[in-house]
Structure 1
Amino acid sequence: MTDLPTLTEATLWAILNEELEDDVVNRLVCHHLGYRYEDASGQWDCSNVVEPLREKFPEPPNFIESRPATVQLTRSIPKPNKQLLKTYLGFKGYTIDQLVPRLTRRATMTSWLLSHMQLQGLLKDDASPV
């Protein structure tokens, strides 16, 4: 999973604004979840992926296409981090005409990445937007 964008505020906004291709967004989330492809065995190593994602998805799921995978991703976001899209990024959400599964799943993926950044200590002062 090479050639992935750096996990930054600009990357998060690029996901929300559809400036990154779906495949890149999926690979980025899967990479940060801990999925690694082993060339030697030709198989995915998911030993660093949290449960129940690891159990339900032994290979990286396509979060854009899979509602069950997106539901599991949402459940893996710690409760204190669930509102970071609003409170940290200032994301106002999509308009009614934009509420389609593809975009809402991109928002979920962005929310998970933002939570991951928070847990890794990669966010600036969490009381104020980036």
Structure 2
Amino acid sequence: MFNLPPLNTDTIWAILNDQIDDATVNQLVWHYLGYRYDYSTDIWDNSEVAAEWRDEYPQPPDFIENRPPTVKLTRSIPPANKQIAKEKLGFKGYKIGEFGPRQTRRATAANWLLSYWEDHINKAD
């Protein structure tokens, strides 16, 4: 697929600190949702994407530019993990006046990725 950074706390912090570009943040979320780009056919393969995502978003959505897919991403985080970035990383959030929709959506992506990592990857270790 794409040359993605590993899913770990350094990557989550890099997302929160705006050290990873928006395209890579999107690609990370797409990857862990199950979207795969097929270079031989030049189309997205969504066969591994859960139906609730695939039905609404047959093509991977832009989570940074568009609010609706980010709302869905937020709602898909298990209740126990809603504050995982604060609990696991000590992330204090952004200061009022220093953030906008883009930073909020990046924080949502970071929180979702950390939740995914905790529930799917970290448990397997």
Judge same fold: TM > 0.5, yes or no.
yes
**Map of 1:58 onto structure 2:** 58
Question: Quick one: distance in 2 between partners of 1:26 and 1:71?
Answer: 14
Render the CA deviation track for 1:69-99: whole Å, top value 9, x for unaligned.
Answer: 1011111111111110111111000000123
- How far is 1:44 from its partner? 1.2
Structure 1's unaligned 5+ residue stretches are: 124-130
**Map of 1:40 onto structure 2:** 40
Q: Name the amino acid aligned to 1:36.
A: R
Question: Quick one: distance in 1 between partners of 2:38 and 2:121?
Answer: 28
Identity of aligned residues (%): 52
Question: Quick one: distance in 2 between partners of 1:2 and 1:41?
Answer: 16
Question: Quick one: distance in 2 between partners of 1:101 and 1:31?
Answer: 23
**Map of 2:14 onto structure 1:** 14
SS of the equivalent of 1:52 reads helix
Is 2:74 the counterpart of 1:78?
Answer: no
Question: Quick one: distance in 1 between partners of 2:75 and 2:52?
Answer: 9
Question: Whose RCO is larger (CA < 8 A, sep 6+)?
Answer: 2
Question: Is the contact made by 1:52 and 1:72 (CA closer than 8 Å) also made in structure 2?
Answer: no
Question: Quick one: distance in 2 between partners of 1:21 and 1:74?
Answer: 20
TM-score when normalising by structure 1? 0.88
Is 2:28 the counterpart of 1:28?
Answer: yes
Q: Name the amino acid aligned to 1:86.
A: K
**Map of 1:3 onto structure 2:** 3
Q: Name the amino acid aligned to 1:39.
A: Y
- How far is 1:26 from its partner? 0.7
Alignment: residue pair count: 123
Question: Quick one: distance in 1 between partners of 2:3 and 2:109?
Answer: 19
Question: Is the contact made by 2:5 and 2:11 (CA closer than 8 Å) also made in structure 1?
Answer: yes
- How far is 1:46 from its partner? 1.3
**Map of 1:128 onto structure 2:** none
